Structure 1
């Protein structure tokens, strides 16, 4: 009977953890629940010191609930089964640090186990931002995206610091519960209460950022073109260009510095980069810009780059069916002005399965298996373009869609010299779900980490202007065409996080290696000790 009760109790704990993590996630207002999301799993880990297979299954259930309830919309594609696989696979990956925690906890004790859990999870998050199956959407620090007033200290420790905060508070709350059971006294709650309150109060009281006076006028366009039925239709590019220009004209004047269009707004079926200056779209844009001599236009675009036989052909390159040459297709952005100089940036953080077939250099026959989401199908190229757009007044980094979820990657662009952040995205693929709303909220964290203005142009919404404090200063409703105008600041100030994010991110990996080595050595010593006794 006790065994049955333990099984049911463990199952309930697994279910509770998955539901708490989901309920805490943006765009829910119950953010504080993130501090309790892992507490049931810690309790379950103590209950299930035996039967590792059952423990793994209950871990997977908790993480599958969290993934599916939070990001079910990733299956809103032409192949819905891809979403089921993505959620299940990500849940499977999340069990790895917890299985490692169980091993360390049993062999090295409770205190070492807690430290190991935090280190293992942070190592998992680091890897999940750097390999080709990357999916950092559920990085724990993202939970505070709707609470910028809680995390102004992200300018020092970034989203990684937020993940540490979540893990430490969960562990302290669980320890307080255990202490209260042994000695019922409210002093047990002191440590977790301070761990929650001190960073939050510090965030309210102080910020290392003060805005300067200089501002530039910016115009952000939201054309609201359906990506499934309209955007990539044959012959639609000219009509879409006219719509974008007409919307831009509504708010553009002679003081406008930058006009921002969304992802793949130009050349939806692709254009050769060496021929951009001759494209009708570019010529029409330059004619438009001559009315506004200070303005530059930044837009998402689909481009092709041809390689000669003398070039090193990358693994992503395709062979032309007609002609003896190789080429890459890119999800790109371009900066156009009235000169003949078109700067091109290539998206480098590609969505696995949609824009990139992971590790296809080892499996070249899988090159064409990326999902067809309209426009150019197959895996995109990874050959770098410019790092960011340069001009006389402001260096601009354009994060294309999914790239804006990578805190340390965006910080690296700012460290290299970017003074203003732009997000060009589509967001229409996922329909009216939490996908586009979560994506908007994550951009607020990038603003705080880098103390940069963020101008977000989304094809179907939500387009917005976000201040360096993470406040949404202006926005457009989802699924409505419109245009925003406002003033932004181009700043050269670099936060502590911008300067040192690479060290902050890699530290848990170093600790992880040391912990694993310690666990292995401890196991060998104990085995020798047992053999000597025998």
Structure 2
């Protein structure tokens, strides 16, 4: 290798790593490249001694990955938001890799590899739980378009996929290092060292095939579900004060085209009702609700689950949370919610409040410490400022033969542990109500739909997905997409889904599985601190 190339090799490796991860991500067909994307990053850690330079190189790779896969977050009225989001997320993702570099400088290679796995998986867990959450690039999400590879997610969730990616990358790099030390290329590829990453690649796929065969559905009692895609422009039409009744009429007309006497649920998209907001204690008197109930008189067996913008007031002094807003008329403080509601012919309306809010769009993170910033969230959804976090119902509970429903609102369907928790609480059917039209016809809405396939596999529940502008569809418990509708076209579809009750291993123990990397991370850090104290004490005692 000539001197010029040797000098520029770390930069080339950084560019290669970012490019590989970008090319591997849904909706690209090159998923297999994810098994090589971290290899250049591992090589950089060995070739670059200066920590500042190392940070710059890994940050560049992570920024390319983020920008290449989620550039569409800036495809809004505020493009700078996307630039900041990608840059900031790349910065957060560099933390576990910096931890790996520091560990590599102080410990042996095996310990460092273990540390990388623990640090990265702990980071992914934290990135699903805190208020700056953005788990879109969780490594296990890379297999959303390859459900046949990861049917074992019903045991591990996406955590297992992230672990698989890291193990194969580490094994490939370890084999390459040994080849460089004298092993010839042929034996490396065939059996000397190459069999280890090959085995790590093949075994999970074989297990996935076996698990899929075991999960072939036996014909059983089904429920007819109708999904509506109204295709209402979120920028120019949806939140107009004059078009609410026209939008409702469109939703009812599309529903009428598919609903029947055997229909149990009708699913409408996010914020389909009350685009200007409605008080929760007055929902039964809203003209939209009354019109829906009149419609359902013809179909008394059906329930409509729809997104809605709602307000909840706190009349009791001291009851209002940090997210609460003040009223110009001097009334009690209140919260605005991105909600899902279930309406039937009775006067009982169940209300679910979105719990996983998009940072900067629906939520100003940690506003309880900075209350003056609560109005800074972007205007997406018709209501400016941060949404509330006061819980509504956990799931929509229904008597047989309906079953219980968890209505994930938009971004919530990306959270594996969160969705599993709702199934553990009794959900038999998963619903996704979303409005992905904000991002236009980009990879954003396509990736979002693909991720729902992983939730179906993890929980072995049917998913009914209603997206305002697309893609609306049904997803089977094996992750198969059924009747996907074209983007930017109104549509209504129906399908008979199974009312599933079995809890997968992941659903039962997702709380433990999700926290395991964090526990290992804490133990590893404690071990490092204790070891450092012991070494320092030894040096001082021998001086």
**TM-score range for the pair, normalised by the shorter chain length:** over 0.9
| Residue 201 (structure 2) aligned to one of 192, 196, 200 | 196
Measured in 2, the distance between the counterparts of 1:6 and 1:530 equals 38
The question of 1:60 aligning with 2:69 is answered: no
Aligned to 1:222: 229
SS in 2 for 1:221: strand
State the Cα deviation string for residues 309-354 of structure 1 (Å, max 9, x = none): 3451100000101123100000000000000011100000000000
Aligned residue number for residue 161 of structure 1: 160
Counterpart residue number, 2:392: 385
Cα distance in 2 for residues equivalent to 1:363 and 1:3: 53
Please show how residues 78-477 of structure 1 align to structure 2 within 5 Å: 78-182=77-181, 183-184=183-184, 185-186=187-188, 187=191, 188-207=193-212, 208-212=214-218, 213-310=220-317, 312-392=319-399, 393-477=402-486
Instruction: Quote the Cα distance in structure 1 between the aligned partners of 2:203 and 2:337.
Output: 45
Deviations 1:389-445 (A, max 9, x none): 112221000000000000010000000100000000000000010000000000000
TM-score, normalising length from structure 1? 0.98
C-alpha displacement of 1:77: 1.7
CA contact (8 A) 2:268 2:433 kept: yes
Q: Higher mean Cα deviation, 448-457 or 304-313?
A: 304-313
Moved beyond 6 Å, runs of 4+:
none
Structure 1: how far apart are the matches of 2:3 and 2:57? 16
Q: Separation in 2 of the partners of 1:341 and 1:532?
A: 74
Partner Cα separation in structure 1 for residue 92 and residue 484 of structure 2:
36
Secondary structure, counterpart of 1:345 in structure 2: strand
The separation in 2 between residues aligned to 1:446 and 1:28, in whole angstroms, is: 20
Aligned to 1:506: 515
Per the TM alignment, residue 3 of structure 1 is displaced from its structure 2 partner at its CA by 7.6
Gaps of 5+ in 2: none
Task: Normalising by structure 2, report the TM-score.
Answer: 0.96
Residue 271 of structure 2 contacts residue 381 of structure 2 at CA under 8 Å; is this kept in 1? no
Q: How far does residue 181 in structure 1 lie from its aligned partner after superposition?
A: 1.9
After TM superposition, the structure 1 = structure 2 runs for residues 473-488 of structure 1, keeping only pairs within 5 Å, are 473-488=482-497
Deviation at 1:374, TM superposition (A): 4.6
In the alignment, is the contact (CA less than 8 A) between 1:98 and 1:117 conserved in 2?
Answer: yes
Query: How much is the aligned-residue C-alpha RMSD, in angstroms?
Result: 1.3
Gap runs ≥5 in structure 1:
none
